[in-house]
Structure 1
């Protein structure tokens, strides 16, 4: 049965991804708007012309990445202290303040960069909290699709920002950039207000001893009364794992890399998948693709190119909602790595052999291109579009899905924070170094991404297990059983022994059985040992 209530909740929370995508996309169009350049650029001569130097562009764009890195780590403290819902509201408010600072500036580059940093705090924090909340709240049968909603919202945000930049860039005054930047205040207010009507994460409520509230939250998410057996069974199942985790005291950052329950493997996998995702090559097309497309002989404006890439990304992300549950996480990453690697290899080699260098293009213009160069440019554009589409279908959403469903409650906020922060630091490094590398080697930069994708294929093959269809507690069992990643697709959890929270009871086959704490521990240990024995056999 389709759980529409859970889908509605998760879709709204994923709106935090819309803020993420929109904020990244909107500034790239503003940087080439005449009024923006006049206000924040530098005069180039006596004729009143202005130029926004590469150093100024760099500081305006990179301050967001600095903020996102800090915010992604800082949310771990607010998520545990104020809850997932309260934390989303806090960071949405901080994001909105950053937008106000940017929009209200007149000529101060310091003010707009500071505003970008403050907004980045909110964007980075939400990039970690949204997968955290949706991973905990979504039922396991649709959890993958609900986590894909985050990536879908990112892409929709990017696409919408490109359309708005295209619509306003011809305005002669500051409205050309104030409208697309200032509209973000509305996005922040929508998220702040809407979170008042959503329940807190049931796992967080149980983890902080608020069982009655968790019961109510689970009933809302599942769209059934609190007395329904689905709610009762979920509460009993969650309490076992949560009580065991709470016995160890407060978790530290170092514990994310401990050997207990293979936590170090999970955290490293989360960070590595985010690292490989950023070096897939798709962001290079988003940020700097217009330069290559001009070399390929197109007369389209940068705004039009961005809209085309954005539309392809949105269309290609939609199938991921289905594929993430049918193909699974592991196969999605493997197929995606090979598909994108092929695109990067063909585009890089063809572009290097056929396109005129940018320096020659500047002297001869697009009209000076030969037929051979034009054909090569068509190939480059075609495989660039395929590359971006393949990313949106597989490697775009799947690393976020992995982050949202791979960690126990005890360290979940911190481990997701580390993965999200890894994404942002490599996003910053890519935007800083990629144009400099491309200036030296041109389309051959795509071969660097080709190499990273091949590395990503083998990393997933050897280290990333399949967790499709497992509850978050069953993911713990998978890692405790030390299942080899290449055997994980066929692995099934041991027969469930779910202990009630109080009174020394446990649920076996739907019946409550009185038991001592010692027998409970023995039953749990035996279940795990059986799983290990089955795997060895």
Structure 2
């Protein structure tokens, strides 16, 4: 949208959208959080696992760990794919209604499980399926509703609520650790139904995206939605809608030569779209590849391996650090930008992982070594959650083109790439970790170095740029390192041009 005055106050509705429009992502974080802690909970392992005479403890087999973690990621990917047509046809708000219903069904399947690990996994897949829908809808919805100077903060809330959900789950597992019955783990499963319940209560108050309404030729509704979201008078709302419509004309003109191509194919065959796909997909792949899937799912098991005993308490502390990191990152995103934060962050993340790998190289564990590993892990987690965690989702919301069906598909490709990378990691990591122990951190450290190279070469600076300005710069093929200083024309003069001025459109292209 066009530039807004950063000092102007916004109505309560934009904060409702910022918070409750992202709350569905907490369900995915909740399930991921309790699963990571649950693999170290004796009551759960006794119910579904086996007794390990070497460790003299109940545990899940490597196969059970891989299936329990990996099948959830399969559910996320399926949810992303199915969420795309929902997002296109039903709109952002109605898709969140569907997401809440699916999440509720998944919780019911998990909670009613008796002795069948297979039923438990089915429920987990359904909950993660709902998480995949949320991963498709929330970045698009927040990116389209946010004023440009709040977009980094609002899109970063997706990742922040992942941490909030994970913290609540880890805390419940920790508080129930001494419950002798199965309710030690059933309590946390049942508790997660509160998250879709918040969705049911808040969704009636959320407006639909003005961008989606315009694409459905519902211009009056789009103006009304924009006025509510940004507290604009009629003239200002009309001016912003004209700016969006002008960009739609540019996008439609560009697509005239692609009529025979499906939108999915256009993400790869059109040079401009391919560049944007590469950035969005690459950001999500490197977000996962640097180690978050390992830390989020296996940090309790990893800490036990290096001799740390208070793993359930540490799971709670790690998520507190994650929440603080996300709050820090949300405020940094719109001040320091994307590119300037991700580059040094990759270097620090790589240094932390390489240090962890070096600390765990000795075959004998000690209390000082385990404490040093915990300190480096906490530093890694804070750095990740204040940088790559929220900013990868900000990039996913900003880079795909506005006003076309390609937008939802590009977001889906980015999200699927993230969870596809995570799927590989969570399936392989238990076996790799069993074989080489803490040296697995060397792999993630090396991937952080590659991530820094990717950011330097491909990721542009989009801080405080409207979605229309970002579209203009990509169509002008501005190099990534010049986005920050490029002078756009759309925001300065777009409101004074007629939408159907063919000569002006041809000149911009």
Q: 1:524 aligns with which of 480, 505, 509?
A: 505
Q: Does 1:3 align with 2:32?
A: no
Residues 1-60 of structure 1 show CA distances to partners (whole Å, capped at 9, x for unaligned) of: 232432321221111221121111112333444443344346889xxx976433233323
Distance 1:397 1:348 in 2: 26
1:103-142 → structure 2 map (5 Å cutoff): 103-142=111-150
Q: Does 1:232 align with 2:238?
A: yes
> What is the TM-score normalised by the length of structure 2?
0.91
Query: Taking structure 1 as reference, are residues 239 and 58 closer, same or farther at Cα in structure 2, changes over 3 Å only?
Result: same
* Residue of structure 1 in register with 2:320 after alignment: 311
Q: 1:263 aligns with which of 248, 273, 277?
A: 273
* Residue of structure 1 in register with 2:446 after alignment: 451
* Residue of structure 2 in register with 1:433 after alignment: 428
CA contact (8 A) 2:76 2:133 kept: yes
CA contact (8 A) 1:29 1:162 kept: yes
Query: Taking structure 1 as reference, are residues 184 and 341 closer, same or farther at Cα in structure 2, changes over 3 Å only?
Result: same
Distance 2:392 2:52 in 1: 45
Cα deviation for residue 98 of structure 1 reads: 0.9
Cα deviation for residue 396 of structure 1 reads: 0.8
Cα deviation for residue 244 of structure 1 reads: 4.5
Distance 2:441 2:319 in 1: 20
* Residue of structure 1 in register with 2:264 after alignment: 253
Query: Taking structure 1 as reference, are residues 377 and 355 closer, same or farther at Cα in structure 2, changes over 3 Å only?
Result: farther
Q: Does 1:289 align with 2:299?
A: yes
Find the residue that maps to 1:279 and give its secondary structure: helix
Cα deviation for residue 288 of structure 1 reads: 2.7
Higher alpha-carbon deviation: 137-146 or 380-389: 380-389
Cα deviation for residue 203 of structure 1 reads: 0.1
Cα deviation for residue 297 of structure 1 reads: 4.6
Higher alpha-carbon deviation: 209-218 or 52-61: 52-61
CA contact (8 A) 1:497 1:524 kept: no
* Residue of structure 2 in register with 1:421 after alignment: 416
Q: Does 1:66 align with 2:74?
A: yes
CA contact (8 A) 2:142 2:154 kept: yes
Cα deviation for residue 97 of structure 1 reads: 0.5
Cα deviation for residue 435 of structure 1 reads: 2.3
Cα deviation for residue 385 of structure 1 reads: 1.2
Query: Taking structure 1 as reference, are residues 445 and 41 closer, same or farther at Cα in structure 2, changes over 3 Å only?
Result: closer
Find the residue that maps to 1:466 and give its secondary structure: coil
Query: Taking structure 1 as reference, are residues 40 and 233 closer, same or farther at Cα in structure 2, changes over 3 Å only?
Result: same
* Residue of structure 2 in register with 1:202 after alignment: 210
Distance 2:75 2:198 in 1: 22
Distance 1:241 1:105 in 2: 51
Query: Taking structure 1 as reference, are residues 121 and 215 closer, same or farther at Cα in structure 2, changes over 3 Å only?
Result: same
Q: Does 1:21 align with 2:39?
A: no
CA contact (8 A) 2:280 2:400 kept: no
1:17-56 → structure 2 map (5 Å cutoff): 17-41=25-49, 52-56=60-64
CA contact (8 A) 2:34 2:170 kept: yes
For this pair of structures, how many residues does the alignment match?
Answer: 491
Distance 1:481 1:516 in 2: 19
Residues 127-169 of structure 1 show CA distances to partners (whole Å, capped at 9, x for unaligned) of: 1210010011101111111111111111111111110110112
Cα deviation for residue 292 of structure 1 reads: 4.2
Please report the RMSD computed on the Cα atoms of aligned residues, expressed in angstroms: 2.3
Find the residue that maps to 2:223 and give its secondary structure: helix
CA contact (8 A) 1:333 1:460 kept: yes
1:260-409 → structure 2 map (5 Å cutoff): 262-294=272-304, 296-300=306-310, 302-352=311-361, 354=362, 356=364, 369=366, 374-408=367-401, 409=403
Cα deviation for residue 212 of structure 1 reads: 1.2
CA contact (8 A) 2:37 2:300 kept: no
* Residue of structure 2 in register with 1:412 after alignment: 407
Cα deviation for residue 527 of structure 1 reads: 4.2
Cα deviation for residue 293 of structure 1 reads: 3.2
Distance 1:205 1:196 in 2: 17
Q: Any unmatched runs of 5+ in structure 2?
A: 1-7
* Residue of structure 2 in register with 1:503 after alignment: none
CA contact (8 A) 1:39 1:106 kept: no
Distance 1:79 1:350 in 2: 46
Distance 1:67 1:282 in 2: 18
1:150-165 → structure 2 map (5 Å cutoff): 150-165=158-173
* Residue of structure 2 in register with 1:471 after alignment: 466
Query: Taking structure 1 as reference, are residues 182 and 60 closer, same or farther at Cα in structure 2, changes over 3 Å only?
Result: same
* Residue of structure 2 in register with 1:93 after alignment: 101
CA contact (8 A) 1:43 1:50 kept: yes
CA contact (8 A) 1:337 1:456 kept: yes
> What is the TM-score normalised by the length of structure 1?
0.86
Distance 1:224 1:241 in 2: 20
Higher alpha-carbon deviation: 34-43 or 271-280: 34-43
* Residue of structure 2 in register with 1:532 after alignment: none
Q: 1:78 aligns with which of 86, 89, 102?
A: 86
Distance 1:205 1:467 in 2: 25
CA contact (8 A) 1:11 1:149 kept: yes
Higher alpha-carbon deviation: 211-220 or 282-291: 282-291
